[in-house]
Structure 1
Amino acid sequence: MKSAVENLNPTRVRLTVEVPFEELKPSLDAAYKKINQQIQVPGFRKGKVPARVIDQRFGRGAVLEEAVNDALPKLYQSAVEEGELNPLGQPEVDITELKDNELLAFTAEVDVRPEIEIPDYSGIEVTVDAAEVTDEDVEKAVEQLRERFATTTAVERAAAEGDVVKVDLEAKVDGEVLPDGVAKGVDYTIGSGELLEGIDGAVTGLSAGESATFTSELKGGSAAGKEAEVTVAVTTVSSRELPELDDDFAQLASEFDTIAELREDSRKRLAQGRKYEQATKAQEQVLEKLIELTEVPIPEKLLEDEVNTRKHNLINHQLAQMGMDLAAYLKMQDKSEEDFDAELKEQAEKGIRTQFILDELVAKEKLNVNQEELTEHLMRRAQSSGMSPDQFAQAVVEGGQVPMLVGEVARGKALALVVESATVKDTNGDVVDLDDEDEDGADEAAENAAESGEKADDKKSEA
C-alpha cells in the first residue's frame, strides 16, 4: 500500500491511497463467505456456493463492493498511522479507482489536530484580589449562621418585613390560570427576594385570610418571560426570632464553647475560601493569557458540531427542565438570537483552543496520570454530580469515559505547570503563593474552561 498526505489547510488533510489488489484478498474471501451465508442456490448446500457461481448469479461488482467496504477502515487507519496524523471525526472517503485484480485507489479528507507551538509562558503576570477577611465579613458569616437557627411564632397581626408568611399563589396570563401556575402552602420571608418580584409589596400589611393581586414577570415555567396577574392569599403570619449571639448560641450552632471561638473559626473558614477564590481567579487569568499568546487554528466542522451540541443541550435539557423555550430564555436575558449564537460560538472556540493548548503541553512536558490522581479526580467529579464514588466510577467505565477523565487530570496538571511559572500578585502588590491550591484548582479550572474539549476527544475516538 502507498499513501500520501496533502495539507489542505492547518486543520484538514487529504490522504491519497493506492492498494495493490492482492492486499484485498482477505476482504474478498470474507465477502464471499458473508454472501455465502445469505444466499441459497439450487444444487448447492448453504455456505458451499463456489465463488464463480456467486459471480455469475449476483455479479462480481457486489462482491467487490462488500470487500472494499470491509477493507477501507483498516486501510484508512494504516494510512493515518503511516502519516502520523491525529484525525478528528470521520473521514470523507472517495473511491477514485477500482480495477478488478489490479488496483484500489481512494482519497480520504479528514480534520486533524493542528500543530501548535507553545510560546514561552514564564513571563505571564496576573493580578488578583487580596485574600483579606474583615471584621465585617466575619460578622456577616456569623449572622448568616444565626439566621439558620431562627425560630418562628404564629402571630395575629398584619405581616411586616422579616415575617414568614405561608401563602397560596395563582398566576394568570391573559385571564387564564396557567397549568403550572398554582402553588399552595409556600413559606416566604418578606424582604428575602426569593419569590416573584412584587410579592413583598403585595403581602406586607395582609393578615391571615386576606389576599392581594399584583403583576410580575414570570422567570420560569410554561409562560417564562411573560407578565402574569398573580393572586397571593396569606394563610398564616409568623414572626421570626433570632437567637442571642452568646456562648449558648455557639454551643447550639457549632462544636465550640464560646462565641469568640466561633468567630475565630468563621474567620479561618473565610480566609480559606478567599485563598481558594484567589487561586481560581489566578488560574483563569493565566489560562486567558496563555490562550492570547498561542495561535490555534480551529477545524470548522469541529467548531460547528460543538456549537450545535451546546445549543441542543441548552434547549433540550437545561431549558426543558425549567419549562422554558429558547425564545423565553432570550427575552429573559435581553439578547437577540444572533447575539446568543455569537456568544455560543465564542465559548466553543475558547473551549476547543484550551483543550488543544493544554493537550500539547501534556505531550510536550510528557505529563502522565497515575492511579491516585485519577481516583482523586473521580471522587471530586462524583461529589459534584451528586453520585457516590462507586456509582460514578461504574457510569464512567460503562460509558467508556475513562480516557476523558484521564485527559481532564492531565490538562489540570498542564495548567498547574503554567501557573507555577507565572507571577501572581494581589491588589496590594504582594506575590501570591498558590502552592496549596494549585493542583486541585488547576484541575477544576482546566476542566471548566475546556468543557467543550470533550467534543474533540469524542471526534478523535470516532475516527
Structure 2
Amino acid sequence: MAFRRPICYPLRFSTGGATAPRCGRQSTIMTESTATAENFDIKVEDAGPARKRISVTIPAETVADRIQTQIGTLQSQAVLPGFRKGKAPKHLIQRRFGSAMQDETMQNLVREGYESAVNDNNLTILGEADVDGGIENLKIEEGKPFSYSVEVDILPEFDLPDFSGIEIIRPLLEVEDEHIDAEIERQCMRAGKADRIESNFQPMDRMLGAISVDAEGEDEPIFTHDQALVALPPEGEAGQVLGLLLDDLNSSFSSAKVGDVVTMTTTGPDGHEREEFRGKNLKINYTIHLAERITPNTPEGLIEQFNLGSEEVLQEQIRLALEQRRDEEQASVLRQQALEKINEAIDIELPEKYSTQQIQRELDRMRQQMMAGGEMTPDEVEIKLAELRNEAEVGMRERTKSFFILQRLAMEFEIHVNESEINTRIADIAMQRGLRPDHVRSELAKAGQLPTIGGQVRDDKAADAVVAKMTIKEMPAEEWNAMHTDGGSSKPAAKKKTSKKASSKKTATKKASTKKASSKKASTKKASTKKATKKKDS
C-alpha cells in the first residue's frame, strides 16, 4: 500500500449519515472503468478557499449508449431459465437487472466525469468528494441528459520558504527512576482486572449503555446508539461523551446505578465533526447497561504476566520503552516547531467554514498521533480531542494550515509510504498500549483508521525531511520549560546551546513521561521540569 500524489487520500463519494458515535458511514469506492469522458460538459468553479465545485452534464445520447452497452454486456453473460447463456432477449435482461444495471452505469458516469475534471485541471484532491444530494439519490434515465455536481477540498497553491534560515530547538532530557516508577504504576492500571459493579460509581469507572441526543427545536433525537462507551475521568477533570466535553461528568454518574437513565446537557462546539451537534443546545440521555471498575495489577503480577523473571528486568524493559517514547516525542517536538515556523512564514487562504470531512480528518490525524505517542490512554486521548473540539476556530485554522503544508512537503520531497512502514507504526502503537500488533490492526481496520495511519507516517516523513534542512539548537529541559511556561523567559541563556545542522550530527536525548496514572501529562511542547538534563551522542 502506497500513498502517492496527486490524490492524497482515497477517492470516495460521501453519502452522509452515521451508525457509530465517532465515525460517519463509509461510502462505496467507485469501480474502475476505461471509458473516456470526452462528450461530457464539465465545469470547475471555486466553491471557497481550497475548495472546488465540479458540475458535469452528460448528453442524452451518451447516457443511452452507456445503458445499451451495459445491457449488451449483461446479455452476453447472463443465464436465464429457458435460455442458453447469452441468448436471453434484451427486454428480459432489462426487467431482471434494470435497476442494478442503471445504478452501476450511473456510478461509472459520475466517476468518469469527476476523474476527468481532476486530471484536466491538475487538482490535488484532499479527502472525499461531496455529491450534491448524495450519490444514492442520483438517477439516470434513457433518453434524458444526466447532470450532477460535487464539491471537493483541494490543496491550495503557495510558495515554501527557505528552510536553511529557520532555527528550531531540541530539548535535552533524561529518564530517571521516578519516571520508571510512574510508568510501572501506569502499566499496572492498564493490566488490571475489570470487575462488574452496579452502583457507587467513581472516577476511572467505565460504562456501556444506550445513548440518545436531543437538540433544541428538534422533535426527534438527532443521534442514537445502542452501545456507547462512557469512561469517567480522573477526579476533578472534565470528561467526554460522544466527543462533547462535560465538566461535571463524574457528578452526573455519582448517584446513579445500572439501569438508570443519566441526563446531561451541553452546547455542541463548532469544531465537532457531527454537523448536527454544532452550536446546538443538546440534551444527552444515557441508559447504563453495565459498568466495571479496574483493580490495578501489581509489579509482581506484571513480572509474571510478561515472564520477565525479576523486578530489575521489568525496570530495564520500562526504561527502554521510555527512552524510545522520549526519542519519538523529541522528534515530534522538532516537527511541530518546523511546522509552526513555516506557518508563520507563509499565507494560505483558508476556508471560512470547515466541513464535517475536514474536521473528522483532523481529529483522526490527531487521535492517531496521540495514540502513537503512548503517553495517553485511549480515554485520555478522547478527552483531549473533546477539548480540541471546543477550541474550534483558532485551533482548526492552524491545524488546517499545517495539513496543507504537510501535503505540499510530501509532494516537494516525493514522500511515499509502504506497507512495512505502516506495520512498524502499528507495532509501535501496540507496544505503547501493551497489546498485540494484530489486535491493534484489527481495531484500526474496524474503525476505518488504517489510511489515517499511512497518512500520519507520510506526514512525519515529510516533516522529518524539512527538519533535516533547518538549523537545530540544543537546550536543557529547564530552559525549554521556561520558554513554554506562562510568565517564563522567552529567551534561553545562550551559553547552554550548541548550534548544528540537523543532517551533520544526530544527538540522542532522553525523555519520559512524569505523569502518575492520569494526573500528570507530558505535553508535546513541554518537557517535565523534574527531569535531569543529559546529552548523549548516538
Q: Kindly indicate which of the two structures has a greater share of residues assigned to helix.
A: 1
Larger radius of gyration: 1
TM-score (norm: length of structure 1):
0.49
TM-score (norm: length of structure 2):
0.43
